[in-house]
Amino acid sequence: MSRLYYAKPLARPGFTAGTDSKLSEWGEKVTKLIPAEIVAGYVTLVGLASKLGSFRTAMMWACLGACFVLTPLYLRKVAEPNKPMRNHLLVSAVAFLVWAYSVSGHLVVPAYYDAAAASIALVLFTLVSGVIPLDK
């Protein structure tokens, strides 16, 4: 199974996919757009950085920047050769930022963090990302 999402081939004429399979495919797509490996590493790094003294904030921002840059680089490395990936990499980079805000915004940007806004961002991202075409 690939780390990136690739659309399934269309069903043969005379066969139709049921709602359950369409919902399952949508769920798989949305799940693969979230760079869970990078988010997990980021949570660990920010947790460690939060224990630092005077340059704690700078280190947290450095962790955010490094993981944001690593997201498309990592996903490009694990992508299947000769398959479309540009849109996937862009959407996953945005997904990283949404998840980073949700899991660490209270540490990195406490003046701009709101738990309700973080939840709204996660829900909206999930709904919107499922309809973005990934064929480029």
Mean pLDDT of the chain: 88
14: left (phi over 0), alpha (psi -120 to 50) or beta: left
Look up the pTM and report it.
0.86
What is the pLDDT, as a whole number, of residue 48?
Answer: 95
Q: How confident is the model at residue 6 (pLDDT cuts 50, 70, 90)?
A: confident
Name the nearest CA neighbour of 107 among 39, 65, 48.
48
What is the pLDDT, as a whole number, of residue 11?
Answer: 55
Mean pLDDT (whole number) for 91-112:
94
Each residue's pLDDT tens digit, 46-85: 999 999 988 999 999 999 999 999 999 999 999 988 888 9
pLDDT at 16 over 90: no
What is the pLDDT, as a whole number, of residue 63?
Answer: 97
Name the nearest CA neighbour of 77 among 61, 92, 63.
92
CA distances from 36 to 43, 56, 68, 96, 110 (A): 10, 24, 12, 8, 23
pLDDT at 23 over 80: no
DSSP category for residue 4: S
Residue pair 113/101 in contact by the 8 Å Cβ criterion: yes
Q: What percent of the chain stands above pLDDT 90?
A: 61
pLDDT at 9 over 80: no
pLDDT at 124 over 90: yes
